[in-house]
Amino acid sequence: MVYWMQASQRTQYNHSLEYAIYQANKLKKPLVVYFGLTDGYPEANRRHYYFLLEGLKEVKASLEERGIQMVALHRSPEQGALEMAESSSLMVTDRGYLDIQRKWRDYVVQHIECPLIQVESEVVVPVETASDKEEYSAATIRKKIKRNLERFMVPVKSQSLLKDSLDMEFSSFSLENVKKVLSKLKIDESVREVEYFHGGTGEALNHLENFFENKLDHFKDERNDPVRDYLSHMSPYLHFGQISPLHIALAVSNRESQGKEAFLEELLVRRELSMNFVFYNPLYHKFDCLPDWAKKTLLEHENDEREYIYSKDELERAETHDPYWNAAEMEMVLTGKMHGYMRMYWGKKILEWTDNPREAFDIALYLNNKYEIDGRDPNGFTGVAWCFGKHDRAWKEREIFGKVRYMNANGLRRKFKIDQYVERVNALP
């Protein structure tokens, strides 16, 4: 029997894995975990692959401790899944929400000969249970999420496999040496791995514990301050499925902290709104994903005179007149992650400094997906779209932005000691 692991790259709090073990025990079969390692994932580069492979190396070791062999094939995931299914009585898989992830699974459904069961484990409330349509905003999905929380806020128990698969013979990529695996892949090498964040469930749990001990109490009031690091840094690990959102939600819910509700709002409402967006809106990666009012007002103002206009290359090199924007761009380029509040400011300014809103949208998405470890993610697509009016309301009309929310440098200076943020980023090696 095979568990096709793709989105949920972990052994803890993995509903798909535990269901596969349950079925293997029921059928009295050994279980093998398969992962398809494609070097053709859209917009992925060495930075993303390095983080992914660090996590997979840990997953392989953890599975072996449970008597489960992991088979990593250098294949497009759906092709490798069909190969693995040829000798399997049942295949279980996890769930992804982006177009490419859904296409992989749809292809396998159409060609597989044994049963295929998909188990959702990357949200707390399954996306179609939460809502059967694209939601307009956090306000419209919040009650729907909370209405179902009690049903799904249930710990996941680890099971023991009755028949191990460690002696079964498969041809597999060795995951022991990450750099050696990378050398065999034909990938974009232009963006290097970072030292600030390393992949794997162990690293995710270290960040989470640090957040609980030193940051959660401050999260409600200080999370937007880019000068002070009161963020959880869970997004890269959630992106690669290296930690479960349910695991995090249960752990936070069991703590007494004034920051608890604010953090759960981000994790359960805002994050799952992004899953709803990419699942129900096929244009999530395009300017046309925006609500009609935002598209209308931006296009009405696309010919407004801009004080500054920068090319994509100038923006990528952080060559603007604005030291705060440049610092945000360089934080992302150097560390693989930008402070969430600065990402909003960053996206708004790309809109302001580009010839037209369609080009601005494409540039923001290109830069986000290229440098953020959690780029190419429902949260990333949603975050960029938000800068252009998605999940927001109309504001007072102004030049260039129309009725889309505006942000400026004076607001940063008024709210934060923003020059300290610039100094910190400029000091990064």
Domain at 1-121: CATH code: 3.40.50.620
pLDDT for the residue numbered 17 = 98
pLDDT for the residue numbered 398 = 98
Q: What DSSP assignment string belongs to 225-263?
A: -TTS------HHHHHTTSS-HHHHHHHHHTS--TTHHHH
Assign residue 89 a region (left: φ > 0; alpha: ψ between -120 and 50; beta: otherwise): alpha
pLDDT for the residue numbered 30 = 98
Mean per-residue pLDDT, 162-183: 95
Per-chain mean pLDDT for the chain? 97
Q: What confidence tens digit (pLDDT) does each residue in 110-159 have?
A: 999 999 999 999 999 999 999 999 999 999 999 999 999 999 999 999 99
Mean per-residue pLDDT, 46-61: 98
Tell the residue number behind the tokens 């696309």, with chain if given: 302
CATH topology of domain 123-155+201-280: 1.25.40
Contact 112, 91 (CB under 8 A): yes
Q: Tell me the pTM.
A: 0.97
Alpha helices by DSSP H, listed for 112-194, are 127-130, 138-152, 178-183
Q: By CB neighbour count within 10 A (0-12 exposed, 13-18 middle, 19+ buried), where does 205 fall?
A: middle
Contact 182, 53 (CB under 8 A): yes
CA distances from 218 to 26, 237, 248, 261 (A): 47, 22, 17, 12
- CATH 3.40.640.10 correct for 282-426: no
Mean per-residue pLDDT, 287-305: 98
Please give the structure tokens belonging to residue 30: 């050994």
pLDDT for the residue numbered 427 = 97
Q: What confidence tens digit (pLDDT) does each residue in 373-425 have?
A: 999 999 999 999 999 999 999 999 999 999 999 999 999 999 999 999 999 99
**pLDDT confidence of 225, banded at 50, 70, 90?**
very high
The domain ranges of the chain are: 1-121, 123-155+201-280, 282-426
**pLDDT confidence of 102, banded at 50, 70, 90?**
very high
